[in-house]
């Protein structure tokens, strides 16, 4: 697989943010996606995205082959939850790899979870999603959504060679629609797509990110 820029790369942190002030919108009120509750938090933050990201998801949904729909499991993630997830995964890796330096641990953790200060989900700019049929049956994507590199033998990487032809076709279908709609993928996670965050800006050559940390409510 080609070289991948991880979320922990200083290049990502170095992208400036010019907050555009776009609101978060609730995807559960919109007909173009299916919102799954497996990652639901008590406040319902998971079902929210910045308006511009949601608009692009609507465009991607229209680009899918007949009979397929976007199934969203998580959008906005409050900062406290991002910190909790990041530290929990880092602790698992530290336990399994006691010889790793803290710097290497930070980099390896960022394969699956963004450092909280970078977090595209924290900005309401990222969405975790997959494909399903009109009846709600999820397509074979090669791994479960949110699979770690350890449990999937790196098959969670978008261009992983160790998946079936069917899974590869399904990933390409998802990628084609989302890329055309203007989102970018985090290559270690086939399900993670974003628009307007620092990683998106770096990958597209935009001069700055559009979204900083977001929050629900007034």
Q: What CA–CA distance (Å, rounded) separates 175 from 142?
A: 14
Minimal CA–CA distance to 157: which of 170, 147, 166?
Answer: 147
Phi-psi region of 21 (alpha: psi -120 to 50; beta: other; left: phi over 0): left
DSSP conformational letter for 157: S
Q: Please tell me whether 121 is known to bind a ligand.
A: yes
From the candidates 11, 43, 151, 189, give the one annotated as an active-site residue: 189
Give the SS3 label for residue 216: coil
Minimal CA–CA distance to 191: which of 142, 119, 136?
Answer: 142
Minimal CA–CA distance to 215: which of 92, 48, 61?
Answer: 48
Say if CB 132 and CB 73 are below 8 A apart.
no
Q: Please tell me whether 128 is known to bind a ligand.
A: yes
Minimal CA–CA distance to 47: which of 57, 83, 137?
Answer: 57
Instruction: Reply yes or no on whether 74 is catalytic.
Output: no
**Pairing assessment for the beta strands 68-74 and 33-35 based on DSSP bridges:** parallel
Q: Please tell me whether 48 is known to bind a ligand.
A: no
Catalytic residues: 189
Annotated binding-site residues for Zn(2+) read 121, 128, 192
Annotated binding-site residues read 121, 128, 192
């Amino acid at each position: 697989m080609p070289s991948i820029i991880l979320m922990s790369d200083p290049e990502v942190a170095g992208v400036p943010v010019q907050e555009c002030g776009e609101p978060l919108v609730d995807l559960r009120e919109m007909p173009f996606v299916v919102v799954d509750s497996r990652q639901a938090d008590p406040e319902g933050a998971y079902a929210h995205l910045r308006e511009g990201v949601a608009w692009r998801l609507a465009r991607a949904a229209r680009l899918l082959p007949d009979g397929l729909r976007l199934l969203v499991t998580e959008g906005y993630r409050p900062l406290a939850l991002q910190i909790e997830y990041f530290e929990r995964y880092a602790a698992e890796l530290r336990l399994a790899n006691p010889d790793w330096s803290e710097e290497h641990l930070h980099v390896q953790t960022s394969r699956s979870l963004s450092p909280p200060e970078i977090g595209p989900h924290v900005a309401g700019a990222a969405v975790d999603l997959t494909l399903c049929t009109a009846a709600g049956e999820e397509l074979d994507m090669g791994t479960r959504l949110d699979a770690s590199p350890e449990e999937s033998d790196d098959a969670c990487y978008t261009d992983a060679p160790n998946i079936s032809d069917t899974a590869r076709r399904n990933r390409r279908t998802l990628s084609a629609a989302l890329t055309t709609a203007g989102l970018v993928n985090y290559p270690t996670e086939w399900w993670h797509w974003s628009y307007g965050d620092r990683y998106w800006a770096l990958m597209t050559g935009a001069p700055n990110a559009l979204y900083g940390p977001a929050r629900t409510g007034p």
